[in-house]
Structure 1
């Protein structure tokens, strides 16, 4: 069995002597890496004045890391621009926030091609390549165009909308065709799989066969849902320890016996934070018996502060928190506590265990692991209640949560009231069912399941020839290069930056 090669947008290389990161993909892939070794490739997180061609290597705990810097121009076009100002809102059904710029779109494909050029020489013939998330959709096609015959899978961590939404993105057909270069495309939920199948069928005109799969030049592209999970028992143990910490004790003392509702996520317009604040305000308005008896703690870590829509969201949240506190506070009680910075994972785990209600209300999410962490953190003898948006991917596998539509403030208030007044027996029953399911579907099982399909069902037919792969990939690059040249001729400075990047890559390719 060959190595596992992971490609993700951001790679955090652990410092020497320190353990790997405790969250996200690091936890999900720990078992896979430990059993077979592997390579993790991606962006270092550094944006410099000049393009950087040097791949830096490190080895930590049996895992090889290979990272590369981006130029500031590439970061602005690829990441802050197209990936987060166009793709992110589109995939989250927020077309009104989609900001498309042809030059940024060109940069997105060019950076992916650049990554492919740097990754391919690092690959061994029997490696399995697993590409992660929307920033890297074209990477598989770029590798195929350069002759890669590896098993290559792609996992999409965020929602996948139907073609009626997806087709609003200029170049939508290009994105869907790029997905045809993978052997396996995975999404979070059956709802996302339905969207993916719809886009494959309408965006390419190709038939989606039962399975589901798409046949292409002797290859098959398999489409599957793989709901990601958490390391349930590890998080439960962490929460049981952390609730005894000094931080948790200070919080508990400050509550003076009041119930706590908690929300914790990145500050992002997909998370439904303004709607959540309005729902809590409606609770205090419509159920006055909770005034003075419940505190809402919202932790919102800063995110993408260089994107304008996020700056506006921060101001809106701060205004809502101030308005609620101004209207309902007493001398000894502040209903909303808003923390606008990141908190350590162990601190949050302890806070989750203390909270009577976990409030998770995204307008759209791929999965939402906070919902699962909240359940794992609870004391089974006296658990809290999860209030969960019907639009979260986690809702598909957590029917015992109290479901809400975050756009209905009064409905959210009614559900919060039900959660705060629910009896212990019902709380135990709901929590117990969700906890059992979490333990049956661990994060290690998610990774193993994806890799089993990717490596165990590789078609016997040879991958497409280099010429066939180029026929899929290269025409789009040529058309995009032409558009970039016309943008440059118009005198736009950002177009010139992207054109310069294209030129540099073309020279390296020669």
Structure 2
């Protein structure tokens, strides 16, 4: 059986705090053999291409250090200041600096040079996410004829938005060197097809093969999931039970609403707070019966837009608490730190409402984790943005427009008054979907499709 070479910006293997994606990829590498290659996260004074090999829990990892300029231009610059905001529909925040694009290309060339000797003739190569759009093209230039797949974990923007990127055509043309491209949803896949057809003159067959500029690439919608059984087991663990009791006691009989999001402008946290504030204003009889716990660990602190969102949220939480709090009650608990997954499972189970309202999200696995952590006899209600990729599968959630404070307020009211039989019916259908399309289903579907592709012939 072919080895699997996984390539991603960062490498995660071993340890107890892994997310579902890392668990799945690690499991695949243990089963099939191979290597997980990527940036170490460390800085070096001069790029040498030296690879640091490690073997953890049966998974071989290979990492490389980058120079300060690479980190600034490739990662902080093009990946996080240009592509991330643009692909989340925030062209007002996207920074189009030529040096960023040059650094992004240079880093991908360095990744290609470094990983090239590690790839054997029968290997399958699987590249992950927006940090490495050009990598497939660079590997082809270096003589790699193996099947190469690419999976995008974030949304693909509409054609008119992508056209604002100066290098848009080159970026999409580079993707045609992959044999297989996966997206979380049909919407993102269709947006990609729209650009390829309208801007590159491509055609898409009924079986999902794009032909453009003399090349063919298969496209699939392959939504990622979680390890539902593992997460349900986490919710029953000792640490989760302890967290459950602690959180329930701290709520003092009030209904707990929870949001868990990385601190990012795409997550709709300001809009969520405003929707909650609207609920408090419109339903004064309910306001002292609820508490919103928002867990938002900071990220990308060197990027200005992330510093602004943190400052804005702190001010908004303070204003809402100042206007509505009483001597014995504060409406928002705003926490700027992360917690292990077993503790989060306990928090989810203690919360009667899960509030997941990103303005745009590739998938959003928090929504699925919340469902998996619930008590089957008395489950909570998930309120989910219709603009999260997960909404395509999770139609039994209360779907809302996160830009509308009124819709968030109405959904909170509906969730609070929902009878237990309806909560159970909705949860059972949601849980069935979470279990059926779990992370191992995603992994198997993509790798099976990649194995069906023969090696290229020069």
Scaled by the length of structure 1, what TM-score is found?
Answer: 0.87
What is the rounded CA distance, in whole Å, between the counterparts of 2:248 and 2:316 in structure 1?
A: 25
Is the aligned partner of 1:11 residue 2:11? yes
> Which residue in the other structure is 1:206 paired with?
202
1:464–1:98 Cα change, 3 Å: farther
Identify if the C-alpha distance between structure 1 residues 217 and 268 changes in structure 2 by more than 3 Å, giving closer, same or farther.
closer
1:142 equivalenced with 2:138 (yes/no): yes
> Equivalent residue for 1:463?
456
Query: How far does residue 292 in structure 1 lie from its aligned partner after superposition?
Result: 1.1
Q: Check if 1:368 corresponds to 2:364.
A: yes
2:165 equivalent to 1:169: yes
Q: In the alignment, which residue of structure 1 is the partner of 2:347?
A: 351
CA shift in 2, pair 1:20/1:354, >3 Å: closer
- What SS does structure 1 have at the residue aligned with 2:41? strand
Change (3 A) 1:20 1:247: closer
**Structure-2 separation of matches of 1:371 and 1:155:** 21
State the distance in 1 between where 2:214 and 2:171 align. 21
Q: What is the CA distance between 1:12 and its match in structure 2?
A: 3.2
More helix by share: 1
* Contact 2:374-2:380 at 8 Å conserved across structures: yes
The 8 Å contact of residues 41 and 66 in structure 1, kept in 2 or not, is answered as yes
Q: Could you tell me how far 1:244 is from its partner in structure 2?
A: 5.3
User: Matched residues in 1 for 2:348 and 2:218: separation?
Assistant: 38
Of 30, 33, 36 in structure 2, the residue corresponding to residue 37 of structure 1 is 33
Shift of 1:378: 0.3
Partner of 2:54: 58
Flag the 1:423–1:13 CA change in 2: closer, same or farther, 3 A: closer
1:290 deviates by 1.3
Contact 1:240–1:353 under 8 Å retained in 2: no
Please tell me whether residue 195 in structure 1 is matched to residue 191 in structure 2.
yes
Per the TM alignment, residue 44 of structure 1 is displaced from its structure 2 partner at its CA by 0.3
Cα displacement (A) at 1:220:
2.5
Query: How far, CA to CA, are the matches of 1:323 and 1:445 in structure 2?
Result: 45
What displacement does 1:279 show? Answer: 0.5
Residue pair 2:26, 2:59 contacting (<8 A) in 1 also: no
Contact preservation (8 Å) 1:242, 1:349: no
Residue of 224, 227, 231 corresponding to 1:231: 227
Q: 1:186 aligns with which of 182, 186, 192?
A: 182
Q: Is the 8 A contact 1:20 1:26 kept in 2?
A: no
Query: What is the alpha-carbon distance in structure 2 between the residues aligned to residue 70 and residue 20 of structure 1?
Result: 27
Give the structure 1 partner of residue 321 of structure 2: 325
Per the alignment, residue 75 of structure 2 pairs with: 79
Provide the aligned C-alpha RMSD in A: 1.5
Deviation for aligned residue 1:50: 3.0
Unpaired stretches in structure 1, ≥5 consecutive residues: 466-510
**Within the alignment, does 1:102 sit opposite 2:98 as a pair?**
yes
Corresponding residue to 2:417 among 414, 418, 421:
421
What are the Cα deviations for residues 165-220 of structure 1, in whole angstroms up to 9, with x where unaligned? 11111110011001100000000001111111112212322222222212368753
The whole-number CA distance in structure 2 between the counterparts of 1:204 and 1:50 is 39
- Please give the alpha-carbon distance, in whole angstroms, between the structure 1 residues aligned to 2:211 and 2:146: 17
2:408 paired residue among 395, 407, 412: 412
Paired with 2:237 and 2:12, the residues of 1 have a C-alpha distance of 26
Alignment partner of 1:79: what SS? helix
User: Residue 172 of structure 1 contacts residue 203 of structure 1 at CA under 8 Å; is this kept in 2?
Assistant: no
CA contact under 8 A between 2:6 and 2:126: conserved in structure 1? yes
Deviation by residue 1:371-408 (Cα, 9 ceiling, x = unmatched) = 00000000010000000001000000000000111111
SS in 1 for 2:261: strand
Q: Which runs of 5+ in 2 are unaligned?
A: none
Q: Given the superposition, is the C-alpha separation of residues 244 and 220 from structure 1 closer, same or farther in structure 2, using an over 3 Å criterion? A: closer
- What residue in structure 2 maps to residue 256 of structure 1? 252
Deviation at 1:31, TM superposition (A): 3.3
Deviations 1:442-485 (A, max 9, x none): 110100000111112x15xx6263xxxxxxxxxxxxxxxxxxxx
